[in-house]
């Protein structure tokens, strides 16, 4: 039976000195909690997960990107207050602003032991253009194309990736289409026959066509 996320966390911290790992709970029906690993030790942690005899997480099935905008979290806390000369506990509502960041999430399985998934994730410091994370392709080769896709659509730069370049969008394309604040351009230069909402946006870039009078509307016959 595979170890629980709590047990795996403890084993990683023993094997990789200085590693910082948090368990991210999942409230969905799957209940698949994940391990948030720090960037500085990410590759060492990944190698431990792959090579440890009991885990042998030798297959990375998929890698996905996530975009988290700036958000405000409301939480209830217990505070101590002086009420009529006595110290009492009271519940207060506080708001905490969490700056935005990007994530890369890896689903790992063991082909050898036939168990999984174990889910690990890394976070960038912010949402700046090409925010960096270490590439885990040197540990799991199957992550190569999927990290490229995340770079292309979310803008995470995977340091140490063997071939980091766009995979879906063309080289001159600006911005990252999967970010939550991305906005479609008003017109697409590659759209030869705009239609539907693209057509409506395209109309804004052209002067209205002049109305033809009756004579000009007559089509010349051969």
Beta bridge partners of 96: 73
Handedness of CA 46, 48, 52, 54 (dihedral sign): negative
Q: What is the pTM of this model?
A: 0.78
Residue 35 vs residues 7, 75, 122, 124, 175: alpha-carbon distances, Å: 11, 23, 9, 15, 29
Contacts of residue 159, defined as CB under 8 A and 6 or more positions apart, other chains included, come to 132, 133, 134, 135
Separation CA 11–CA 199 (nearest Å): 57
pLDDT at 180: 93
| Cα distance between residue 210 and residue 195, in whole Å | 21
SS3 (DSSP) at 8: helix
Average pLDDT over residues 87-101: 86
Question: Which CATH code for domain 5-67+102-176?
Answer: 3.30.460.80
Taking a C-beta distance cutoff of 8 angstroms, is the pair 65, 42 a contact? no
> Taking 80 as the threshold, does the pLDDT of residue 9 lie above it?
yes
**Residue 208 reports pLDDT greater than 80:** no
> Which tokens go with 168?
């879906």
CB 178 within 8 A of CB 103: no
Which 8-state DSSP code applies to residue 210? Answer: P
Per-residue pLDDT tens digits for 112-134: 999 999 999 999 999 998 899 99
pLDDT digits 0-9 by tens, 160-169: 999 999 999 9
Domain definitions of the chain by residue range: 5-67+102-176
Q: Which has more confidence, 191 or 139?
A: 139
Residue 188's pLDDT is: 57
Q: How far is CA 144 from CA 42, 129, 172, 220, 222, in A?
A: 16, 20, 22, 61, 62
List the beta bridge partners of residue 105: 64, 121
Q: Answer whether the bond into residue 117 is a cis peptide, omega within 30°.
A: yes
Query: Sorting pLDDT into bands at 50, 70 and 90, what band is 75?
Result: confident
Per-residue model confidence (pLDDT) at position 14:
95
pLDDT score of 157: 96
Q: Are 65 and 176 in contact (CB under 8 A)?
A: no
The pLDDT of residue 220 is 46
Instruction: For tokens 């009756």, name the residue.
Output: 214
């Amino acid at each position: 039976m595979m170890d629980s996320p709590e047990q795996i966390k403890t084993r990683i911290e023993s094997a990789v000195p200085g590693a910082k790992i948090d368990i991210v709970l999942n409230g969905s029906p799957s209940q698949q909690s994940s391990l948030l690993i720090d960037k500085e030790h990410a590759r060492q942690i990944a190698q431990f997960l792959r090579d440890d005899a009991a885990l042998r997480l030798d297959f990375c099935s998929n890698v996905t990107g996530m975009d988290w905008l700036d958000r405000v979290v409301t939480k209830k806390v217990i505070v101590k207050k002086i009420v009529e000369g006595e110290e009492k506990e009271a519940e207060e509502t506080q708001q905490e602003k969490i700056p935005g960041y990007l994530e890369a999430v890896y689903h790992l399985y063991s082909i050898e032991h036939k168990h999984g998934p174990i889910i690990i994730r890394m976070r960038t410091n912010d949402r700046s253009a090409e925010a960096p994370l270490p590439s885990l392709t040197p540990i799991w080769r199957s992550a190569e194309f999927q990290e490229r896709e995340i770079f292309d659509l979310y803008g995470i730069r995977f340091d140490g990736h063997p071939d980091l370049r766009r995979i879906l969008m063309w080289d001159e394309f600006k911005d990252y289409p999967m970010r939550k604040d991305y906005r479609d351009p008003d017109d697409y230069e590659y759209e030869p026959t705009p239609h539907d909402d693209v057509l409506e946006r395209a109309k804004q870039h052209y002067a209205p066509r002049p109305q033809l009078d009756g004579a000009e509307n007559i089509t010349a016959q051969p």
